[in-house]
Structure 1
Amino acid sequence: MAESSKKITLYSYFRSSTSWRVRIALNLKKIDYNIIPINLLKSEQTSEEYTKINPNQGVPALKYGDEVIIESSAILEFLEEVFPEHPLLPQDAVKRAQIRGFCQVINTAIHPLQNLRVLNKIEKEYSQDKIQWLKFWVTKGLTAIEELLKNSHGKYCFGDEITLADLFLVPQVQGVVDRFQFDLTPFPNIAEVLKNLKEIPEFVAASPSKQADNPDNQKI
Structure 2
Amino acid sequence: MLELYHNAMSVCAQKVRLALAEKGLEWTSHHMNLRNKEQFSEAYLALNPNGVVPTLVHDGEPIIESTIINEFIDDAFAGAPLRPEDPVRRAHMRYWTRQLDDTIHAATSVVTLSIAIRHQFLELHDEKAIEELLAAVPNAKRRASKRFGIEKGMDHPELQSSLLRLEKMLDNMEDALRTARWLAGPDFSLADIGLVPYVLRLDHLGLGNLTIERRPNVCRWLDAMRSRKSYEEAILGRWDDQAYVANLKEKGAQAREAILLRMLSR
Is the TM-score greater than 0.5? yes
What is aligned with 1:4?
Answer: none
- Any conservation in 2 of the 1:11–1:38 contact (CA below 8 Å)? yes
Q: Tell me which residue corresponds to 1:164.
A: 190
- State the match for 2:232 in structure 1: 204
Contact kept? 1:45, 1:51, Cα under 8 Å: yes
Residues in 2 aligned to 1:186 and 1:132: alpha-carbon distance in whole angstroms: 27
Mapped contact 1:37–1:213 kept (Cα < 8 A): no
Instruction: Give 3-state SS (helix, strand or coil) of 1:68's partner.
Output: strand
Q: Deviations over 1:74-104 (max 9, x none)?
A: 1011111111421011111111011110122
Task: Please tell me whether residue 63 in structure 1 is matched to residue 48 in structure 2.
Answer: no
Q: Residue 34 of structure 1 aligns to which amino acid in structure 2?
A: T
SS at match of 1:9: strand
Identity rate, percent: 27
Counterparts of 2:240 and 2:176 in 1: how far apart (Å)?
Answer: 38
**Which residue identity is paired with 2:96?**
F
Q: Return the TM-score normalized by structure 2.
A: 0.70
SS where residue 40 of structure 1 aligns? coil
- Aligned in 2, Cα 1:136/1:28: closer, same or farther, shift over 3 Å? same
Q: 1:94 aligns with which of 88, 96, 102?
A: 88
Q: Residue 110 of structure 1 aligns to a residue in which SS?
A: helix
Name the residue aligned to 2:217: 189
Q: 2:171 aligns with which of 142, 146, 149?
A: 146
With over 3 angstroms needed to count, the CA separation of the structure-2 counterparts of 1:179 and 1:217, relative to structure 1, is closer
Query: Which amino acid letter does the alignment assign opposite residue 97 of structure 2?
Result: C
Q: CA deviation at 1:215?
A: 7.6
Q: 1:79 aligns with which of 73, 76, 82?
A: 73
Q: Give 1:27 deviation, angstroms.
A: 0.4
What RMSD over aligned residues (CA atoms) do the two structures have, in Å?
Answer: 2.7
Structure exhibiting the larger radius of gyration computed from Cα positions: 2
- Match among 44, 48, 60 for residue 54 of structure 1: 48
Distance 1:77 1:214, change over 3 A: same
Counterpart-to-counterpart distance in 2, 1:206 and 1:34: 13
Indicate how the Cα distance of structure 1 residues 130 and 163 shifts in structure 2: closer, same or farther if over 3 A, else same.
Answer: farther
Q: Is the 8 A contact 2:21 2:230 kept in 1?
A: yes
Assess, with a 3 A threshold, how the Cα gap between structure 1 residues 85 and 210 changes in structure 2: closer, same or farther.
Answer: same
Post-superposition shift, 1:201? 1.5
The one-letter amino acid paired with 1:170 is: V
| Cα offset, 1:132, TM superposition | 8.9
**How many angstroms does 1:162 deviate by?**
1.3
Higher helix share: 2
Q: What is the deviation of 1:46?
A: 0.8
Query: Structure 2 counterpart of 1:70, which letter?
Result: I
For residues 151-205 of structure 1, what are the alpha-carbon distances to aligned partners after superposition, in whole Å with 9 as ceiling and x for unaligned? 4553332344210111112101102211353422343322221121111111121
The alpha carbon displacement at 1:131 in A equals 8.0
Structure 1 unaligned segments of length 5 or more: list them.
Answer: 1-6
Aligned length: 212
Query: What 5-or-longer segments of structure 2 have no aligned partner?
Result: 114-141, 249-266
Decide whether the 8 Å contact of 1:11 with 1:36 is kept in 2. yes
1:30 counterpart SS class: coil
